[in-house]
Amino acid sequence: MKVYAFCEEGKALQVPAPLIRVPEGTEIHVTLHNLLRVTAILHGLHQHPGDAKAVVEVPPQETRELRFAAGAAGTYQYYASAGGELGDTGRPIREDSQLAGAFVIDPPGKVASGRIFVLGIWRSGSDLAAVRGQAPLPHMIPVINGKSWPYTERLTYTAGEPVRWRWINASDGGHPMHMHGSYFRVDSAGDSETDHSFTAEQQRTAATNRLLTNGTMTMYWTPPPGHWLFHCHFVPHMSPEMTVANALADKFIMQHTHDHMAGMVLGITVTGNRPPLDSHGRTRKIRLWVRERPAAHGLPAGFSYQLEENHSVFPKNLTVPGPPLVLERGQPVEITVVNQLHESTTVHWHSVEVESYYDGVAGWGASGNKVTPEIQPGHSFRVRFNPPRAGTFMYHTHLHDEEQLSGGLYGPLIVVEPGTKFDPSHEPIAVLSRAGPSPIEGPLLLNGSTNPPTLHWRIGERYRLRLISIAAFDGGFFSLLGPDGLLQWRAIAKDGADLPPAQAVMQEARQSALAGEVYDFEYQPTVAGTLQLQVSIGILKMKVAQQIEVQ
């Protein structure tokens, strides 16, 4: 494919565009030469904070000069559109989609070291047209700093060393960026024109953090030893079946794709030894069956999980999502994954701090000389870990995601404190997903249903809502509504990590959640009546509601 690109005078073209990085107070002088045959419209080359509507037009073969003060310290970007097709959020998606670069303004004094990453996507058409049935799903090439896995840069760190990254979303679409095996801290966020640094009380801990179009973030990470991934959790942005044109997929890319991944995937190796975790009790032994599921209850045929413990299988019928896997903090667990599919699979323990060998990424996770295998049909794989924190998590496939994730291979994972029990009547789980067979097809589901059963709550009692989003290519909303509209609930946790007191506050009961995000909220009804727990995808005008009768 051909794309337009920037370069410094006398140097090679590059994707992303040349980095502009200056200290606060710098006066910037830019000379722009447009060597294209179309007018280029430049965004972001002005003082920051700035106005997104402040653009500079450079006609073909002409030159423009700009002079401006850099502005306030922060992470920003500049980009150009040059006559190409614009996507659903107004960013270029075709030949001019890679005309974007980082614009970083450093504060006075010594600046902490760190890497800068720019996300980009070249696409053959509009996603919105595809989901509305007006066009096929576009082919796309998602990149990190201009490269798609397995060609993305491989990073190496030492366990425990401070790691600081800046991320810039220069693509026409949002990205839920997910870290395997540990958490990171979000220190600032912006929209490419403004940047906001969080105070210690405002900083949030996450295993999945969204970057919307034009979004930026700086993050701090203390890496544990192992082989880890940091990637977009949207399946089309990490799946080789969906990130390349069909003509290329069969002849080249699919033959050279490493670990069944492509696109926005970053591989990280962290050296060092993992410290032992506190543990108690005997090792609990469970079998997790991976089985093919026939079409039923309005869902197409797909896949499902079943749990077996003490020779008892739960649930008896194959369901979507898989059954809740309830563990205890600090109690070692041994889960034997038994694959009864006609294709290989793996299981990823999403947001759970496990050793990388058990993390579920075939061909990448490792322990010494052992590399995480694919679980072949008829074979099994034994996973061992000790959950170090209580919270809401999930488990799901991490192989053949387009087919297997859309086909139902996901389920909630709940870790409780020692000596306590999970109470489903007061801790309702709400899983937002789609029914496949591809990420843009099938109805919206709440706990695997378009018509979930009624819940029954009591006045004055507290309910912990465990909200999980695992739709393969959707961002949705969870809402709790009463007769007069949205209610108020209290935030408790994000991605299984408890929120600090300053963030555990009452707020409007509506939460946006992209794929891979998990939220916990608390609600206490005060009057009798009928409530609704609703999941929705606004762009598709889809919603599913679960009735709640309060007495």
Q: How confident is the model at residue 245 (pLDDT cuts 50, 70, 90)?
A: very low
Contact 104, 18 (CB under 8 A): no
Q: What is the mean pLDDT of residues 368-375?
A: 94
276-308 pLDDT per residue, tens: 878 888 999 999 999 999 998 888 899 999 999
| pTM for this predicted structure | 0.94
| The CATH number of domain 20-271, selected from 2.60.40.420, 3.40.50.150, 3.40.50.920, 3.30.420.340 | 2.60.40.420
- Predicted pLDDT at 241: 66
Q: Pairing state of beta strands 391-396 and 410-416?
A: antiparallel
pLDDT above 50 (res 419):
yes
Q: Which residues contact 151 (CB under 8 A, 6 or more apart)?
A: none
CA distance 170 to 501: 34
Q: How confident is the model at residue 239 (pLDDT cuts 50, 70, 90)?
A: confident
CA distance 408 to 392: 19
Torsion angle (degrees, nearest 10) of CA 126, 130, 134, 138 = 60
- Per DSSP, the three-state class of 44 is coil
CA distance 8 to 392: 48
520-540 pLDDT per residue, tens: 999 999 999 999 999 998 766
441, amino acid identity = E
**Residue among 96, 110, 133 at smallest CA distance from 438:** 133
Q: Which residues contact 419 (CB under 8 A, 6 or more apart)?
A: none
Q: Residue 359: left (phi > 0), alpha (psi -120 to 50), or beta?
A: alpha
CA distance 229 to 180: 6
pLDDT above 90 (res 371):
yes
| The CATH number of domain 284-422, selected from 2.40.50.100, 3.55.30.10, 4.10.1240.10, 2.60.40.420 | 2.60.40.420
- Predicted pLDDT at 257: 42
- Predicted pLDDT at 191: 96
CA distance 514 to 451: 22
Lowest mean pLDDT of 54-63, 246-255, 490-499, 526-535, name the range. Answer: 246-255
- Predicted pLDDT at 113: 82
- Predicted pLDDT at 130: 64
Contact 518, 394 (CB under 8 A): yes
| The CATH number of domain 444-550, selected from 1.10.645.10, 1.10.3720.10, 2.60.40.420, 3.30.300.30 | 2.60.40.420
Q: Which residues contact 269 (CB under 8 A, 6 or more apart)?
A: 154, 155, 156, 157, 227, 228
Lowest mean pLDDT of 102-106, 254-258, 292-296, 427-431, name the range. Answer: 254-258
- Predicted pLDDT at 511: 97
Mean of all residue pLDDT scores within the chain: 92
Contact 129, 135 (CB under 8 A): yes
Lowest mean pLDDT of 4-8, 319-323, 439-443, 446-450, name the range. Answer: 439-443
Lowest mean pLDDT of 6-20, 123-137, 429-443, 458-472, name the range. Answer: 123-137
- Predicted pLDDT at 253: 44
**Residue among 159, 160, 83, 84 at smallest CA distance from 122:** 84
- Per DSSP, the three-state class of 127 is helix
- Predicted pLDDT at 107: 93
171 φ/ψ angles, rounded to the nearest 5 degrees? -105, 170
Q: How confident is the model at residue 246 (pLDDT cuts 50, 70, 90)?
A: very low
- Predicted pLDDT at 274: 84
48, two tokens: 């920051």
- Predicted pLDDT at 440: 63
Q: What is the mean pLDDT of residues 476-485?
A: 95
425, two tokens: 């009547």
Contact 448, 502 (CB under 8 A): no
Q: Which residues contact 374 (CB under 8 A, 6 or more apart)?
A: 344, 345, 346, 362, 363, 399
Burial label for 199, CB within 10 Å (0-12, 13-18, 19+), is exposed
Domains 20-271 and 284-422 share a fold: yes
- Listed by start position, the domains of the chain span 20-271, 284-422, 444-550
